[in-house]
Amino acid sequence: MSDLHRRVEETQAILARIARDYSPAVFASSLAAEDMVLTDLILKARLPIAIFSLETGRLHAETLDMLKRVRETYGYEIALYKPQPEAVEAYVAQNGLNAFYDSVEMRKECCRIRKVEPLGRALAGKQAWITGQRRSQSATRAELAVQEDDVAHGLQKFNPLTDWSEENVWEYLHENQVPYNALHDRGYPSIGCEPCTRAVQPGEDVRAGRWWWENPESKECGLHVVDGKLIRIKSVAA
């Protein structure tokens, strides 16, 4: 059995266990390459795991186009969670539209409004949530576990692709003809909001294009952080 097929079987087993033991469970998709792997696995297996995405209001057109491509390929409508309009308006009025360039604090506040608060609404009433995070993506994710006790949201958090390599991800996408974000072919291995993401140069870290003006140690949006620390409070053996 190839390395990819072994990882696929392991991931399928994890997803099946989540659907069986942690219902209702949801998958938080950023519509990037890793998330399309999980989307394909969940929808083809018809697992009772809902898929949602955070529509921040600052996403690339190519990212938004993925919603249509998922609908056309799988006949599935990804649920969208958007920031509270009044919170966005207050931030922009007080600080300016692109104040996130001014400091880490301003950037994290923008992420809190556009991503963290909507995530809380998306996870309300759920027993588990799933992400497409991988250990090799960045220094901040080096100790990522397959299953974690997310005390911040009061539920279990699963990262089924923890041990997948970049090569595994792309081999799966090509082998299974899974649609993916066109920005990946233009030097964007990691894709966030448009003003906070740039293409990377050959040899750069895959997340070097995210908040490129900051130090690597601060490059998390807050979805996986509480009080300045990554939510790695208690890892649970798979």
CATH code for the domain of 58 = 3.40.50.620
Q: Provide the pLDDT for residue 212.
A: 83
Is 210 within the bounds of a domain?
yes
> Catalytic pick from 70, 128, 221, 223?
221
Is 164 within the bounds of a domain?
yes
- Domain tally, the chain: 1
* Inter-CA distances, 9 with 5, 6, 41, 169, Å: 6, 5, 10, 14
Is 147 within the bounds of a domain?
yes
Is 235 within the bounds of a domain?
no
> For the whole model, what pTM was predicted?
0.85
The parent domain of residue 42 ranges over 3-218
Q: Please enumerate, by residue number, every residue annotated as part of a binding site.
A: 110-111, 193, 196
Identify whether 24 is preceded by a cis peptide bond (ω within 30 of 0).
Answer: yes
Q: Please enumerate, by residue number, every residue annotated as part of a binding site for [4Fe-4S] cluster.
A: 110-111, 193, 196
Q: What does the block give as tokens for 133?
A: 């995070």
CA distance 36 to 32: 6
Could you say which residues of the chain have pLDDT below 50? 224-238
Residue 56 is among the residues annotated as catalytic for this protein: no
Q: How many helices and strands in the chain, by DSSP H and E?
A: 7, 9
Is 106 within the bounds of a domain?
yes
Q: Provide the pLDDT for residue 81.
A: 98
Is 31 within the bounds of a domain?
yes
State percent of the chain over pLDDT 90. Answer: 76
Is 238 within the bounds of a domain?
no
Q: What does the block give as tokens for 47?
A: 């697992």
Is 89 within the bounds of a domain?
yes
Q: Provide the pLDDT for residue 142.
A: 60
